[in-house]
Amino acid sequence: MSIALLLEMAVSGDPHRLAVVDRGTRFTTTELSRFASGGAGVIGTAGVQHVAYVGTGGHMLPLLIFSSARAATPFTPLNYRLSAAGLQQLIGRLPEPLVVADPEFVELVAGAGKRVMTSEEFTQAASAAEPHEEFADPDEVAIVLFTSGTTSQPKAVELTHNNLTGYVTGTVEFGSADADDAALVCVPPYHIAGVGAALSNLYAGRRIVYQCKFDPREWARLVRDERVTSATVVPTMLDRIIAELEASPTDLPTLRTLAYGGSKVSLPLVRKTIAMLPHVGMVNAYGLTETSSTIAVLTPEDHRMAYAATEEAVSRRLASVGRPVPGIEVQIRDENGAVRPAGQPGELFVRGPQVSGRYTGIGSVLDADGWFPTRDTATLDDDGYLFIGGRSDDTIIRGGENIAPAEVEDVLVEHPNVREAVVVGVDDPQWGQIIVAVVVPEQGAEIDVEDLSEFVRKALRGSRTPDRIEIVEQLPTTDTGKVLRREIIRQLSENLRSAT
């Protein structure tokens, strides 16, 4: 099924419903649909094979997603924080694209693609163009997203119409939102969660309120003023929101659910959020670009039960990503491909209609039975709750022993003086690799390295205690909060070399 049909259904369900709010711009479902038909006309006339977008999103994201879908042309939102060279290089990998850019980024993409238009030019042309509608083959690519490239060159993930509508119709009930429901979306447009939000909230009948540039105080203001009922954030945003609410306490009476995901969140932060916002249901969403967004969810009910539980098997679920969504099957496999039982760690494989596993220039990486290797290490518990360990590539092998960094990090962040911690393996002539912990202290706190080592040793075996602990002011991350482990390892290795 084409993603264009999601919009068609939203209009058919309620043609007058307010669907998108972005500062002064407001679209009902019908207005969004009209603009998208005109936008499809603009794309059709331009004679391009792809549409790319460089900008901060807001109403431009649903507009371009549906304009491109109705023109049966694949669409790629790009990371507007990239340099001109970075953007030009990614645009060069797209076939004959029309490049739409917010005015502040137009200079960065000058001369790129087949044609460049500003967002205003596109919107104006769309409002004047002949409406256009082409039916895309549902197995054709609808959206191409570049991975953040924390471990390698960015890969171009191809999501078909069927992948995306499989996700939406498999996880969201059409029109299930209450008439007053509103979702605050502050995740960037080039992130799969941004694409997912545009589709799933429209389908649920939930008004989308956009915040294009995240700021915690403005976020809280929007929740109050727009009477927001649900919101999605990445962990770094959650951290800043909680700090803001601590500094200037604010009521968020309408907020019912707060979803977090995109990278690992520390347990102390989750506990703090639950304690500060007891009326808000927390949702941990786990997914990958390659799986068209969320594949497992830890629900508000799961959070409450785990938070209140005294039984270890239940309380530890606060650190899990919950259970798979309908339509997703999961398997944990060992290095030989054998399926492992509950409680045993291995690599997570997933299968379902929303799973693409296809990259431009590489092809499909699904196995013969349609399973996608996530390259995340994971464990299932007896009740099917999924625990994510980290990227398989990040596993440290010290003296022949496999150590998941997350295991050590989870202990480190429980220390009252530690704000953030990352554990990496650094090459070592004696052990193969040694465990190095890089920690950021809580504001105003001092970290005693000996004391912290002892703290870890008490919780884990001696062989998992960091060989070295480095104290830093901040960690290098992507702008959605993913820690750049490669960068940390590179710096550590350089420091080691210059020290010897």
Partner 1 sequence: MIKNGTRLQSQVCDTQVIVVRSADSLDDLRCGGEPMVSLDAQKQPHADLDPDFTGGSTMGKRYVDDAGAEVLVTKAGAGALSVGNTRLVLKEAKPLPASD
In the complex with partner 1, the residue whose CB is nearer, 299 or 453, is 299
Q: Which residues pair with 390 in a beta bridge?
A: 377
Q: Which residue has the tokens 């049966």?
A: 72
Distance in angstroms (rounded) separating the CA atoms of residues 124 and 38: 9
Phi, psi of 198 (to 5 degrees): -60, -40
In the complex with partner 1, the residue whose CB is nearer, 204 or 488, is 204
- Eight-class DSSP state of 477: B
Nearest to 437 by CA among 413, 468, 401: 468
Question: Least CB distance from residue 392 to partner 1, whole Å?
Answer: 25
In the complex with partner 1, the residue whose CB is nearer, 37 or 169, is 169
Q: Do residues 273 and 252 make contact, with C-beta atoms less than 8 angstroms apart?
A: no
In the complex with partner 1, the residue whose CB is nearer, 293 or 377, is 293
- CA dihedral over 53, 59, 62, 66, signed as positive or negative: negative
Question: Least CB distance from residue 61 to partner 1, whole Å?
Answer: 13
Q: What size, in residues, is the chain? A: 500
Question: Least CB distance from residue 73 to partner 1, whole Å?
Answer: 19
Q: Which residue has the tokens 């389908």?
A: 203
Question: Least CB distance from residue 10 to partner 1, whole Å?
Answer: 9
Question: Least CB distance from residue 327 to partner 1, whole Å?
Answer: 10
Question: Least CB distance from residue 13 to partner 1, whole Å?
Answer: 5
Percentages helix, strand, coil for the chain (3-state, rounded to 5) are 35, 25, 35
Question: Least CB distance from residue 188 to partner 1, whole Å?
Answer: 13
Applying CB under 8 A, which residues contact partner 1? Answer: 1, 5, 8-9, 12-13, 138, 162, 169, 171-176, 183, 187, 193, 196-197, 200-201, 203-204, 206, 230, 232, 257, 259, 261, 281, 283, 285, 293-294, 297, 299-300, 325-326
Q: How far is CA 426 from the centre of its chain?
A: 28
Q: Residue 202 half-sphere exposure, CB side, CA atoms within 13 Å?
A: 34
In the complex with partner 1, the residue whose CB is nearer, 183 or 245, is 183
In the complex with partner 1, the residue whose CB is nearer, 176 or 402, is 176
Distance in angstroms (rounded) separating the CA atoms of residues 191 and 383: 31
In the complex with partner 1, the residue whose CB is nearer, 56 or 200, is 200
